[in-house]
Structure 1
């Protein structure tokens, strides 16, 4: 049940829902769970959540002229131009707490090929979760007096 909770929290954290998977991951690191599986399920859930953002992004053109649509044509144009400056490589930064979700949304708008999208997003998110695990283990070692 722990891995499933982590997967779902990481998935939600990659969408526009308010969730903080790093907190749950950090709490689970020293509870006897496999560090590999913690990293794997957090990365998988967060990457899949970003794929949902990409799918939504691919639908933007269908809705951009609706009155209820929250983004103006000018904002979409600016987002496309910024994304084009760095291209699909900017998806490596999809893990950022501010702007990362928007990058994956714009990656969908720009129709980055799915294989490239998933690989780049997964690399960035995997690196972030690897860092979180390392930081928690390092802090635990320091506070326990072991070095």
Structure 2
């Protein structure tokens, strides 16, 4: 894989991992760290940027759907849990947006409940960035 394509692949993997689709950005990050083609900083920036952008897309999906279905009631336990967290802690809940299973519903629900966008993006970035920083630090 060429040098540029490896960073693009890591960005895309981070993006997919943060949307409602499953992904394996951590495994690709670890593999690329071991390949030593790029600096750890470059890899961290690429995967974090992709993951944050994916979280923003999920947030905006929630925002958009709320415009069309403002009275929709969520039935799934993960959605209800995410709704409770966002209602109780607001955008701070998005520090946990990197968590498997609950992270995507948190981003979606934050958008659906129309939390403050810039604060939400900041919390998304901090949570996701710190998670990848820990992975980089362990390698």
Bigger mean CA offset, 45-54 vs 74-83: 74-83
State whether structure 2 residue 45 is matched by structure 1 residue 53.
no
**Structure 1: runs of 5 or more not aligned:** 66-71, 138-147
Contact 2:83/2:106 (8 A) holds in 1: no
Q: Which of these two proteins has the greater Rg computed from alpha carbons?
A: 1
**Structure 2: runs of 5 or more not aligned:** none
Count of residues in correspondence between the two structures: 130
Matching residue of 1:42: 47
TM-score (norm 2): 0.85
- Change in 2 beyond 3 A, CA 1:64/1:10: same
- Change in 2 beyond 3 A, CA 1:74/1:15: closer
C-alpha displacement of 1:80: 3.4
Structure 1 ranges of 4+ moved more than 2 A? 74-82
SS of aligned partner of 1:97: coil
**Alignment counterpart, residue 26 of structure 1, candidates 25, 30, 48:** 30
- Alignment deviations for residues 73-117 of structure 1 (CA, whole Å, 9 cap, x no partner): 153994534321111100100010120011000110121222111
Matching residue of 2:119: 116
- Change in 2 beyond 3 A, CA 1:120/1:133: same
Contact 2:85/2:93 (8 A) holds in 1: no
> Pairwise mapping of residues 1-147 of structure 1 onto structure 2 (< 5 A)?
1-32=5-36, 33-61=38-66, 62-63=68-69, 73-75=73-75, 78=80, 79-135=82-138, 137=139
Root-mean-square deviation (Å): 2.0
